[in-house]
Amino acid sequence: MWESETKSVRGREYGNGVLSSNKHGVKTDGFELRGQSWYVATDIPSDLLVQVGDVNFHLHKYPMLSRSGKVNRLIYESNNPDLNKIALEDLPGGPEAFELAAKFCYGIAVDLTAGNISGLRCAAEYLEMTEDLDEGNLIFKTEAFLSYVVLSSWRDSILVLKSCEKLSPWAENLQIVRRCSESIAWKACANPKGIKWAYTRKPSKASSPKWNDLKDSSPSRSQPVPPDWWFEDVSILRTDHFVRVITAIKVKGMRFELIGASIMHYAAKWLPGLIKDGQGQGPADDMSISTNSNSSGGTGSSSWKGGLHMIVAGTKEDTPSIQAKDQRMIIESLVSIIPPQKDSVSCSFLLRLLRMANMLKVAPALVTELEKRVGMQFEQATLADLLIPSYNKSETMYDVDLVQRLLEHFLVQEQTESSSPSRPPFSDKHMYEGTQRSNNPNAKMRVARLVDSYLTEVSRDRNLSLTKFQVLAEALPESARTCDDGLYRAIDSYLKAHPTLSEHERKRLCRVMDCQKLSIDACMHAAQNERLPLRIVVQVLFSEQVKISNALANSTLKDPVETQYQPLIPNHKTLLEATPLSFQEGWAAAKKDINTLKFELESVKAKYLELQNDMENLQRQFEKMSKQKQTSAWTNGWKKLSKLTKMTAVENHDIGPQISTTAEQTRKTPRRWRNSIS
């Protein structure tokens, strides 16, 4: 491919050779390599030794001085005209680039490819091979090849940018990185319908377009181009170059969903710890574009194949491994370029990135930014992603404080969206729509179920304090939970793992649960739960009785012919479906206990009514006695006299009616006289 691309430039600009010099003073058949030294194949003895790294070049002064300003200056400004040895230790591109530059100085044809053009361009700049020394010098010709050949090709731009990893800062100062990044961004944002399609080595996994191939020989030209066709090619770049490409793509206006997907693809390639078990994609996948990189400390090196799970943070605090440093740099770079729009990346990806950031001790500001991003879409999280181990030497197994912060960010985001629903928070239309999609009451309910499941899982940790459990359980408003079965399950699990809790602590733990929000099956389970305080059991029984009474009352208000038993049956089935399986064990015995407790409760109510009647009787007698104490002595005397009269009349009842009449008159006369006196 490269040969065909250079023919057009060869015939137009470079004469008979691919890249050659027309003027040279030494006839040669080429260069010969002997061990670690290069020799010019000529009869003229060498008078200049150039050392580049570990390689020696036995050359001649005239061809080099006529083309290279740096070599000219090193010899003639050294005040030693007989100097025949120079060292170029910091030459960009190394011995390979200097070999090509030296061949150019001798007029030997040089093949320019996307793999050597960047090193040769930097070497020409280092050697100062400008037009002032000779027309058509190496700087001019390499720059022309970059502009007219490389930047017009997708694959060439990727390869040149990949080769710039070993040429910092020369490639950056010569704008090679910027120009290649903008070329890649422009082609990635172009309409895929206009791409001339060509498969690469692995058609099932990656494919890339040839932008400079006008003849489409591919049999699949009618196949539609997927929008993510450029992900795999861009993912071979080093992190800083990948960031430059993504930044340029953002400026071009690509959709944030595609940008986020490309970031996730790159992270899955270079951060194997992000990928779940069984879904891994190693960084060593074969591609049409070579992914070999020998740069020291580069993020594209093959030493990453071990996977992030091999790194254990916190075991040694002296010097982290090179692998950990590289991966920390990748995480920090990716976090900085994630689009600000919601749903640009998945919540699961953000949580796994957050897990690795905590493990590798990424900068706190970026960790906080990640936490806020997770809070924006916290309702999309799963329990497996939330179970983040504690890497800060905490006593607990999982980082409960982190989940608490994520929940706080979620509540702040929900409050912000609900307080200003009329104004979109961003100017972009898609951004506004993505933000408003979750502004509904179901989001809090999903988060409540997620938090209850998380509490059930972490409650098994014996080091989890009661305060942390209670604070996390009470963080959500009461309206977020329509049913407290999940919260009851978490409380029961915590009581199992912490059997030494006092009665006061168990009551405090159970206050986070609303007994009235428990289903009938959960109430049955709680009624026989010996770990619950007795007061909570009584509340559960009372709430169950109220539910049954309300259900019966509602059923009597409707038509008895049509809906005589219908209100209870569907509700009961719904509650059974929403009840965890752990609550459905041992219910047969629980129902018998419930009936016994109900009977005892009715007996207690009856005894209570009897005691209340007795108390009222005693109260009336007490009131009578208090009134008797307030009467005068005369009244008491006359009352005693009337009682004696009644007793006498009863004893003398058999004597005769006359005696009875006389006694009655004698009893009545003094009462009238007493009343008149008083």
Q: Which of 121, 152, 183 is the last residue of a domain?
A: 152
8 A C-beta contact, residue 20 and residue 14: yes
pLDDT at 558: 55
Neighbours of 13 (CB within 10 A): 14
Q: Which of 594, 616, 638 is the last residue of a domain?
A: 616
Integer Cα distance of 542 and 288 in angstroms: 72
Q: Which of 152, 179, 211 is the last residue of a domain?
A: 152
Domain membership of residue 141 (yes or no) is yes
User: How distant is the alpha carbon of residue 413 from its chain centre?
Assistant: 15
Q: What is the DSSP string of 218-245?
A: -TTTTSPPPTTTTHHHHTTS-HHHHHHH
CA torsion sign, 120 to 126 to 130 to 133?
negative
pLDDT at 344: 92
pLDDT at 276: 54
pLDDT at 16: 32
DSSP state of 320: -
| 31 Rama class: left (phi>0) / alpha (psi -120 to 50) / beta | beta
**Close Cβ partners of 462 (under 8 Å, ≥ 6 residues apart):** 497, 498
Domain membership of residue 246 (yes or no) is no
- Two tokens, residue 377: 């879409």
Q: Say how many domains are in the chain.
A: 2
The residue type at 436: Q
Burial state string for 172-187 with b = 16 or more CB within 10 A and e = fewer than 16: eebebbebbbbbbbeb
With residue 467 as reference, give the H or E element that holds it: helix 466-473
Domain membership of residue 571 (yes or no) is no
Domain membership of residue 225 (yes or no) is no
Largest interatomic CA distance in the chain: 181
- Two tokens, residue 177: 């990185």
* Cα separations in angstroms, 175 against 170, 180, 182: 9, 9, 11
pLDDT at 639: 58
pLDDT at 60: 87
8 A C-beta contact, residue 209 and residue 198: yes
- CA-closest candidate to residue 163, choices 254, 69, 227, 96: 96
- Two tokens, residue 101: 């530059």
Integer Cα distance of 111 and 126 in angstroms: 20
Integer Cα distance of 502 and 531 in angstroms: 11
Domain membership of residue 376 (yes or no) is no
- Two tokens, residue 178: 């910027």
Domain that holds residue 98: 30-152
Integer Cα distance of 158 and 156 in angstroms: 5
8 A C-beta contact, residue 331 and residue 356: yes
First to last CA, the chain: 140
8 A C-beta contact, residue 183 and residue 157: yes
Domain membership of residue 477 (yes or no) is no
The residue type at 598: K
For the chain, 678 residues long, the average pLDDT of each consecutive 10-residue run is: 34 41 55 84 85 90 88 82 83 92 89 92 93 89 93 92 91 94 92 54 40 42 77 93 95 92 93 59 36 37 32 40 86 93 92 92 91 92 92 83 93 81 45 45 88 93 91 90 90 91 90 86 85 84 77 65 42 46 51 75 83 86 76 56 57 47 44 40
8 A C-beta contact, residue 351 and residue 381: yes
- CA-closest candidate to residue 522, choices 505, 543, 503: 543
pLDDT at 645: 60
At residue 31, φ and ψ (nearest 5 deg) are: -110, 145
Domain membership of residue 136 (yes or no) is yes
**Close Cβ partners of 162 (under 8 Å, ≥ 6 residues apart):** 236, 237, 238, 241, 289, 290, 291, 293, 300
Integer Cα distance of 253 and 191 in angstroms: 13
Alpha helices in 14-116, H assignment, sequence order: 61-67, 69-76, 94-105
CATH number at residue 61: 3.30.710.10
pLDDT at 582: 44
55-59 β-sheet, strand order: 31-34, 37-40, 55-59, 48-52, 85-87
Neighbours of 555 (CB within 10 A): 15
* Cα separations in angstroms, 491 against 25, 258, 488: 91, 43, 5
DSSP state of 532: S
Integer Cα distance of 220 and 230 in angstroms: 17
- CA-closest candidate to residue 99, choices 50, 134, 147, 142: 50
- Two tokens, residue 42: 């000529």
Domain membership of residue 95 (yes or no) is yes
3-state percent breakdown (helix, strand, coil) of the chain, nearest 5? 60, 5, 35
